[in-house]
Structure 1
Amino acid sequence: MGYLIIIGTDDSIFGLAVETSGRTGSVALACGGRTIAEAEFPHGLQHAAGIVRIIDELCRGSGWRPESIRHVYVSAGPGSFTGLRIGITLAKMMALATGARIVAVPTMRVLVENAPAEARHVVIVLDAKRDQIYTARFERTVSGWEQREPTQVEALRDVLARAPRPVHLIGEGIPQHAHFIPEGDRQIAVTDQSCWRARAQVVAAVGWRMACAGEFADPWTLAPVYVRPPEAEERLARAAGGNPTKPG
């Protein structure tokens, strides 16, 4: 487990950021959206209780008490079904135990923050299996990143066919869908692998901005953003004669 310590804090609201949407999870403590400490853990951590132990270690190392956390910023998806359920469950546990307020941060908004400085148009690429991706398209403006297409499931070749150029690709699904990227097209830039995964410190920064705008979630109704249901649910829907692409 690695730790990132950033010198200097804001004596603002204490927040906890949780990122469990990808292959590597992470949690971070933050003041005013600025990360104080961060820890990473493998995707194989299958229970919220295991992450709670990591959070306790971070709090002790930073001189925090868990009950002092007033905001929980959680990466809400899309992404790993199991990981998202764990992250959302943890956020609800914290809210109910401490009274902290939850901010459900769209994972796409977290990933686009990894874009290099020269990027203007960005397409997010997360593997959705069956030659499809979870994707969204963003454009950099004077006020920051604006989402130009909604989060959806689609084939990368179709997304690229209408995306403005030059366009940068970000996301852990790039290797599985690289064969859809036209060879020799210099207007399509595959970002460095270090840009592909979401991190808790970015969840904290985006979550803080959302909190300042009053974008809090109801812990009783909060659910992961799946875009489409898990494969097992799709099979059940098909067997029942329902629509397998519509989340329940």
Structure 2
Amino acid sequence: MKIVAIDTSTKQLSVALSDGTAILAEASYVTSLNHATKLMPLLERLMQEANWLPKELTRIVVADGPGSYTGLRIGATTAKTLAYTLGIELVAVSTLELMAASTGRTGRVVAIQDARRGTGFVGMYENGERVGDEQHTTVADFVATLPTDTLMTGDTEKFVEALQPFEIVAPAFRTPRAGVLALLGATRVPVDVHAFEPRYLRLAEAEAKWIEAQRHD
């Protein structure tokens, strides 16, 4: 099995190669969401270094959100194009699940992505299994009833006061890794390449404003 994993859902761009059991190559960059110009050159470099040819690939794994609207579109479009062109499987994995798994920790882990104005995209996992639905919510309200032995990861610096009672993952382990994404997606059921869309959990700000304007017309 030869897997390419792509994560463009946050400000960090991450790409990895895997045989399904081990991470063979991985590279990550903080690109200020300039993923469109960085993604393919980075992927091509990794494949050249690993002596992999596109025709040898068997599966594309992509982080499907929630996250940056633009970043998710770039990752989804690239993953779908590769899967369709090469006639191979496409697998989607939650960005929040990836963030929790990238900590390398067991127990109860909450992954948080900043969604501004005190809100976040939040997902809770226990020993790798999702607990409840991922959601867009007020972070302070979400964590208020959680046990204090819950581990926090992600954009924790945006919610310092609300997260004071909890252990926070060290900065080096708070960002999602494409290598972990590849391993998570190695055994998942593929999605329909044509029907696949990222999961935003909320409308992009421009879309929300447009819909609100229509209501008042």
Instruction: Name the CA distance, whole Å, in 1 between partners of 2:47 and 2:103.
Output: 30
| Counterpart selection for 1:198 from 176, 184, 188 | 176
Contact 2:10 2:33 (C-alpha < 8 Å) held by counterparts: no
**Aligned twin of 1:60:** 48
| Counterpart selection for 1:150 from 130, 133, 143 | 133
Instruction: Name the CA distance, whole Å, in 1 between partners of 2:209 and 2:74.
Output: 23
**Aligned twin of 2:23:** 35
Whether 1:45 and 2:34 are equivalent positions in the alignment is yes
Deviation at 1:241, TM superposition (A): 1.6
Q: Per-residue CA shift, 1:116-161, capped at 9, x if unaligned?
A: 54x5211111101111010011112xxxx22112110111211112
**Aligned twin of 1:126:** 113
Contact 1:131 1:177 (C-alpha < 8 Å) held by counterparts: yes
Instruction: Name the CA distance, whole Å, in 2 between partners of 1:43 and 1:201.
Output: 21
| Counterpart selection for 1:226 from 188, 192, 200 | 200
Contact 1:81 1:226 (C-alpha < 8 Å) held by counterparts: yes
Whether 1:76 and 2:76 are equivalent positions in the alignment is no
| Counterpart selection for 1:108 from 89, 96, 100 | 96
**Aligned twin of 2:163:** 181
Q: Which amino acid aligns with 1:45?
A: N
Instruction: Name the CA distance, whole Å, in 2 between partners of 1:56 and 1:155.
Output: 40
Q: Cα RMSD between the aligned structures?
A: 1.7
User: Which sections of structure 2, spanning at least 5 residues, go unmatched?
Assistant: none
Deviation at 1:43, TM superposition (A): 3.8
Assess, with a 3 A threshold, how the Cα gap between structure 1 residues 44 and 112 changes in structure 2: closer, same or farther.
Answer: closer
Q: Which structure 2 residues correspond to residues 233-248 of structure 1 after superposition, within 5 A?
A: 233-241=207-215
Deviation at 1:164, TM superposition (A): 2.8
Instruction: Name the CA distance, whole Å, in 1 between partners of 2:91 and 2:13.
Output: 18
Whether 1:138 and 2:116 are equivalent positions in the alignment is no
Deviation at 1:29, TM superposition (A): 1.1
Q: Per-residue CA shift, 1:88-117, capped at 9, x if unaligned?
A: 011011012111210011111111113354
Deviation at 1:46, TM superposition (A): 3.8
TM-score (norm 1): 0.82
Contact 2:17 2:25 (C-alpha < 8 Å) held by counterparts: yes
Deviation at 1:33, TM superposition (A): 4.1
Higher mean displacement: 190-199 or 31-40: 31-40
Q: Indicate the percent of aligned positions where both proteins have the same amino acid.
A: 27
Instruction: Name the CA distance, whole Å, in 1 between partners of 2:145 and 2:162.
Output: 14
Contact 2:96 2:112 (C-alpha < 8 Å) held by counterparts: no
Deviation at 1:201, TM superposition (A): 0.2
**Number of equivalenced pairs:** 215
User: Greater relative contact order: 1 or 2 (C-alpha under 8 angstroms, separation 6 or more)?
Assistant: 2
Whether 1:216 and 2:190 are equivalent positions in the alignment is yes
Instruction: Name the CA distance, whole Å, in 2 between partners of 1:73 and 1:238.
Output: 35
User: Which sections of structure 1, spanning at least 5 residues, go unmatched?
Assistant: 1-12, 243-248
Deviation at 1:44, TM superposition (A): 3.6
Q: Which amino acid aligns with 1:208?
A: A
Contact 1:33 1:206 (C-alpha < 8 Å) held by counterparts: no
Instruction: Name the CA distance, whole Å, in 1 between partners of 2:117 and 2:40.
Output: 34
Instruction: Name the CA distance, whole Å, in 1 between partners of 2:107 and 2:84.
Output: 40
